[in-house]
Amino acid sequence: MSSPRLHRSPPPRLAAALLAVALPACAPDGGGDAFTDPCDGDGDGARDPFADCVVAFDPAEPAGFGHDALPDIVLGPPQGAGPDAGGTDVASLGCGGTIVLGFSGEGIVDGPGPDLLVFENPFRVGDGSATFAEPGEVAASEDGETFVAWPCDPTGDGGPPPPGCAGITPVLAGPNAPDVDPTNPDEAGGDAFDLADLGLSRAHYIRITDRTRAYYGDDTWCGGAAGGFDLDAAAAVHGTSWND
């Protein structure tokens, strides 16, 4: 069961007026592509590299952490807490929960190397050689209907975090690290994804599906309000998003 869009839609007449005014000013610079807005003109209004709206949200019970702050809590830049602490500016998916984010305008474009960063709230534990993780599978789509996933195949033993998933690398970009560029894969932390690996040149949607149960092989980290994957933010590395 999918929830309806979480953002409010403007009245039809207002929406039409906004569209008429907005379109000429919104053509991507030099991109040559028609303006694409998965947020239906009702994203967060920020012309930035971060997700612009929540297109769909289907959490698993009993997750509830951060839900009252949706959609804003997963839009905008990551609010990471560094390598040794999990950020709390997140919304929990619960085990098996999913969320779809929209990127307006250029969306996410394939450039050299990684194109997308997904930020959860993993953190180092013990002597720092291990990481507590709640992984998620990430998929991308250009039309919002056909999604292609990057491989994320947890082993079920809770061993080293599975490569290819989101939610396995601590988030360094955040309020305590103002000089860290949250769109730079070399310094931001989070987990990086390359559209070229999927054969895509562009994406306006990403879908994250919690895989915590598959990672641990049981429901140890599925209970409570903060169970499963905790989404902080997502960023386009090369593209720029805009709404207005």
Site residues, Ca ion (CB under 5 A): 110, 115, 121, 134, 194, 196, 230
> Measured from the CB atom, is 148 or 196 closer to Ca ion?
196
Helices vs. strands in the chain: H and E counts, helices first:
2, 14
Instruction: Tell me if 170 sits within 8 A of 115, measured CB to CB.
Output: no
Give the shortest CB-113-to-Ca ion separation in angstroms.
Answer: 6
Q: Which of 81, 84, 83 is nearest to 174 (CA)?
A: 81
Question: Considering the complex, what minimum distance in angstroms separates the CB of residue 211 from Ca ion?
Answer: 12
Structure tokens that stand for 89 in this block = 């500016």
Residue 205 in contact with residue 53, Cβ under 8 Å?
no
Side-chain half-sphere exposure of 161, counting CA atoms within 13 A: 25
Distance from C-alpha of 133 to C-alpha of 130, rounded to nearest angstrom? 9
- Residue 89 vs 110, nearer CB to Ca ion: 110
CA angle 177, 130, 209 (to 5 degrees): 75
SS3 state of residue 24: helix
Question: Smaller CB distance to Ca ion: residue 5 or 213?
Answer: 213
Which ranges in the chain belong to alpha helices (H)?
12-26, 212-216
Q: Cβ closer to Ca ion: 163 or 224?
A: 224
In angstroms, what is the minimal distance from the CB of 193 to Ca ion? 9
| Partners of residue 233 on adjacent β-strands | 119
Of the two residues 39 and 193, which places its CB atom closer to Ca ion in the complex? 193
Minimum CB distance to Ca ion, residue 145 (Å)? 22
Nearest distance, CB of residue 90 and Ca ion, angstroms: 7
CB of residue 244 to Ca ion, shortest distance in Å = 27
Of 37 and 115, which CB lies nearer to Ca ion in the complex structure?
115
